[in-house]
Each structure stands twice: as structure tokens, then as C-alpha cells.
Amino acid sequence: MENRKPFIAGNWKMFKTCSEAVNTAGQLVKLVKHANDIDVMIAPPFTALVPVSDVVKGSCVSLGAQNLFWEDEGAYTGEISSAMLVSAGCKYVIIGHSERRQYFGETDETVNKKIGSAIKDDLIPIFCVGESEKERESKATFSVLDKQVKRGIEGFSTDDLEALVIAYEPVWAIGTGKTATSSQAQEVHQFLRSMLDKILGNMLAKSIRILYGGSVKPSNIKELMTMPDVDGALVGGASLSAETFSKLVHYQV
């Protein structure tokens, strides 16, 4: 893993009311307070960001959002800007999740604009890419990822992308219980890192963290984390319980 700091991130998706989110975050802060040399993030729904930010303040748990809109402000009913997320206490933002691509019309172009907005406001983008089952079966995995990555980061400088985090989430492994095997994950992560090397140079390719996402749980995290190019996990279902998520954070013990 070279010198990349492991990163365990929880995507709570559309789960938890404010009080449920505050409770889970409070339990998590206690359970992971001795975690060292690892970055931890939770991304609750928008409504819970502010109350959860109070709970995690001063702890090793950082706050992330699940989406943003790229304009600073304006008549865009229902949307949230990156500056608003920063003011709510966010350090990270998940961009281009496959559920947003699948159900909400997210494209590589909108993902690119959103990454730009996050960078401008010093939010760290967790940029999601991944192939569908059909694409994997037709051996299109690498070409799909090549396009998603190139279009997503198009137009940014190496300085802009210094803090970028990439999440490889094969769509067929999300919420299905079907995890990619550690060697399948490694094969793709290695491919992504070699792409980064070509586009952004060796320094950034070595420092950008690539997380795996898709049915990560306490029983498979250790094996995934032994892979040289897997730097962490973006976790859905197993992040909703503080106890289960804390086991992922403590995967080394």
C-alpha cells in the first residue's frame, strides 16, 4: 500500500432520521476512539449532516456528503452546493455513485462538474466508478472504467487532484452480497492506478487512494485490504450499524 493511509468510509445512503443518525454516530465515535493511522468517514443523508457534525467534532471520524450540485447558489430547487456542505461540517463528498448514475441521470459530464465544484471549495471528492454485470460479462470492464475516469477528471491539474479519492464499486456487487474477490478487486485497482500513472504521473498515481466498494463486511475486509492497490473501503449496508462498521475500521486487529 506504499505510504497511503487506509481509509474506511461509510455511505449511509437514504437511511436514518436525524435522531437515528446522531445515535449511530455517537456510538461509532466511542467504538473507534483508539483507531490509529486510519481515516474514517461517514456520509449521512443531508438532513443529518449538521447534527452529526456536532457529534463527530474532535473525534477521528470525519463527515462526508453523498452528493452536491455544482453551482454556488441560485434557483435550483432541491439542490445543495459544495459551500453549503463545507458550512455543514463536511470534509468529503461522494460523487458519481452508481445509484446516482442509474436513478438520477448522473453522467460523466455532470460528475466532472461536481468534482470541479468540490475541489474549488476544498471538499475532498470520493469519485465513484464501476461497471455493470452486463459490462463485466461482455469484457468491457476496463474500457468502461477508462472512459469514466478520463471524463471524470478531465480538465483538472495535478494540484487540483492531489487529495482525490477514487472508489471502485462494481455495480453487480453493491447491496447484492456478491463481493468482488480480492484478486478481482486488485486487478481493477491496479488497472486504475496504471491509468492514473499515465494521466497524472507517478507521484499522484502512488498517492491517490483507491477504495473498493460492494458488499464489504467484517468477514471479507481483511482479505481485501491485503491487496497492494486496495487502500480502503466504501461501505453501504455494513456501515449502518456502529458496531459492524467499527469492526471494519479495526480490520487489522
Active site residues: 97, 169
Question: With binding defined as CB under 6 A, does residue 175 bind ligand 13P?
Answer: yes
Least CB distance to ligand 13P at residue 204 (A): 23
Question: With binding defined as CB under 6 A, does residue 121 bind ligand 13P?
Answer: no
Question: With binding defined as CB under 6 A, does residue 236 bind ligand 13P?
Answer: yes
Distances (CA, A) of 13 to 175, 194, 236, 252: 11, 30, 7, 26
Identity at 128, one-letter amino acid code = C
Closest to 214 in 3D by CA, of 170, 244, 247: 170
Which range of residues in 31-39, 45-53, 103-111, 209-217 is near ligand 13P by CB under 6 A?
209-217
Cα distance between residue 214 and residue 216, in whole Å = 6
Residue 132 in contact with residue 171, Cβ under 8 Å?
yes
Give whichever of 23 and 244 is closer to ligand 13P, judged by the CB atom.
244
Question: With binding defined as CB under 6 A, does residue 213 bind ligand 13P?
Answer: yes
Residue 202 three-state SS = helix
Q: Cα 61 to chain center, whole Å? A: 14
Question: With binding defined as CB under 6 A, does residue 234 bind ligand 13P?
Answer: yes
Question: With binding defined as CB under 6 A, does residue 64 bind ligand 13P?
Answer: no
Question: With binding defined as CB under 6 A, does residue 237 bind ligand 13P?
Answer: yes
Which range of residues in 81-89, 102-110, 144-152, 212-220 is near ligand 13P by CB under 6 A?
212-220
Radius of gyration for the alpha carbons in the chain, expressed in angstroms and rounded: 17
| Chain positions contacting ligand 13P, by CB under 6 A | 11, 97, 169, 174-175, 213-216, 234-238
